[in-house]
Amino acid sequence: MNNRRTFLLGAGGAAVSHLAPQKALSANDKIQIAVLGVNGRGRDHIQGIMKQPDAEVALICDPDLNVARKRAADIEQKYGKKVVIEQDLRKVYERKDIDAVTIATPNHWHSLAAIWACQAGKDVYVEKPGSHNVWEGRKMVEAAKKYNRIVQHGVQLRSSAALQEGVRLLREGVIGDVYMARGLVFRWRPSIGRKGPEKAPDHLNYDIWTGPAQMEPYSPRIVHYNWHWTWNYGNGDVGNQGIHETDMCMWGLGVDTLPKKITSMGGKFLFDDDKQTPEVLTSVYLYPEQKKMIQFEVRHWCTNDEGGASVGNIFYGSKGYMVIKGYDSYEVFLGEKREKGPARRAGGDHYANWIKAIRSRNTGEQNGPVETAHLSSALAHLGNIAYRLGRQLEFDPVKEKFAGDAEANRMLTRDYRKPFAVPEKV
């Protein structure tokens, strides 16, 4: 869709570029890919890559050897292919036979893993959120540009033919002047209970798993999935499922910077458990010059849907509204009587789009360029900062700093644990 590039994100606007490959690839060469993190989303990465006729998974990497061995066995059984196993992603970057990596680690590893990959000459597919904090997301963008890498953000909505069409219709005025987007993340998230520290199992390299985060005693409350609800590693549901919807909000509204005013409120109201992140969170992001606003709501348990969507987006305009449901459909409702307008359901292949861009070296062909990884993630981070500080924040979207607010600015980054530190100069 030609119009999708009207929402290319970046502090100074993103430029389409043609990049040099790490090595010359003939049309018959299969791109050799390593999947980093194979317990959760990494399983989808394996399946998605192995569907591509000109790419294949050659290596899997996970600090949990039990997980890695199980996934390697699955690959051999399903595809008849033996893959290399590594525990330490740094060894992956040393390999000259790996052309690209996909990153499905916990959030706290995403930016550093992507930066190291760029420095090693590997192209990257990085899961959402692209970053664990605002500062490192910008460093990831800088690394992609400096090392001429194709970095694709795992927001599959961008490759949906239906949603590309929906955004085009928003630009053409199907619901009039669009002034507000609403992001919805209503997921069933049960109590995780309370679990104390234990000795890390022998099959897990907990030092590598912890990586850039501060070292905490091992506990099954964080490894494997429930790290999402601990600030040291995750960002709550707005930084989990929610990044698909923060990205859709910005894409649909056509805003290409972060907001100037942020307020957020929520808390834990139902479960007395180990979660640190809020169960319920409502954030509001204001773009005063553009006269546009984003509302974002996370709910965790029993709830109604809104506009027929429980995970999705609603765009409001002067003539009607558009509902985005899930990853691949939209519906339009017009006027006071909510008469049905255009609607469509159609998906796409986000991995195929990445592979195509790797071969062409043309960032203009990417549906989820690196700028989306930074800004859609940063939007979630800003809401979390406002929630944690308990006050409205003023933000400078050009400098990507809070105006005269040292306390808030400290939360734009983190204390990194050496040697797993995101460098100031990438």
* Radius of gyration for the chain, computed over Cα atoms and rounded to the nearest angstrom: 21
In-domain check, residue 222: no
Give the global pTM. Answer: 0.94
Residues 88 and 167 in one domain: no
Query: Helix (H, G, I), strand (E, B), or coil: what is residue 341?
Result: strand
**In the numeric block, which tokens belong to residue 130?**
């692209």
Q: What is the pLDDT of residue 20?
A: 53
Q: Which of 406, 345, 276, 365 is nearest to 4 (CA)?
A: 365
Residues 165 and 133 in one domain: no
Q: What is the pLDDT along the chain (426 residues), one digit of tens a residue?
A: 333 333 333 323 334 454 555 555 655 699 999 999 999 999 999 999 999 999 999 999 999 999 999 999 999 999 999 999 999 999 999 999 999 999 999 999 999 999 999 999 999 999 999 999 999 999 999 999 999 999 999 999 999 999 999 999 999 999 999 999 999 999 999 999 999 999 999 999 999 999 999 999 999 999 999 999 999 999 999 999 999 999 999 999 999 999 999 999 999 999 999 999 999 999 999 999 999 999 999 999 999 999 999 999 999 999 999 999 999 999 999 999 999 999 999 999 999 999 999 999 999 999 999 999 999 999 999 999 999 999 999 999 999 999 999 999 999 999 999 999 999 999
In-domain check, residue 7: no
In-domain check, residue 108: yes
Q: What is the pLDDT of residue 2?
A: 32
Residues 399 and 293 in one domain: yes
Q: What CATH number did the domain enclosing 311 receive?
A: 3.30.360.10
Return d(Cα 50, Cα 355) in angstroms, integer: 12
In-domain check, residue 204: no
Total domains in the fold of the chain: 2
**In the numeric block, which tokens belong to residue 341?**
């307008």
Decide the pairing of beta strands 55-61 and 84-86: parallel
Residues 170 and 132 in one domain: no
Q: What CATH number did the domain enclosing 117 receive?
A: 3.40.50.720
Q: What is the pLDDT of residue 24?
A: 54
Return d(Cα 305, Cα 148) in angstroms, integer: 43
Residues 43 and 112 in one domain: yes
Task: Find the domain containing 100 and state its range.
Answer: 16-156+350-370
Residue at token pair 């290399």? 84
Residues 405 and 340 in one domain: yes
In-domain check, residue 207: no
Q: What is the pLDDT of residue 318?
A: 98
Return d(Cα 83, Cα 74) in angstroms, integer: 10
Residues 96 and 186 in one domain: no
Residues 53 and 181 in one domain: no
Q: Please report, as a single letter, which amino acid is at residue 72.
A: A
What's the full length of the chain, in residues? 426
In-domain check, residue 388: yes
Residues 363 and 310 in one domain: no
Return d(Cα 150, Cα 157) in angstroms, integer: 18
In-domain check, residue 404: yes
Residues 262 and 363 in one domain: no
In-domain check, residue 2: no
Q: Please report, as a single letter, which amino acid is at residue 219.
A: S
Residues 280 and 366 in one domain: no
Return d(Cα 426, Cα 423) in angstroms, integer: 6
Residues 62 and 108 in one domain: yes
Return d(Cα 355, Cα 361) in angstroms, integer: 10
Return d(Cα 394, Cα 26) in angstroms, integer: 51
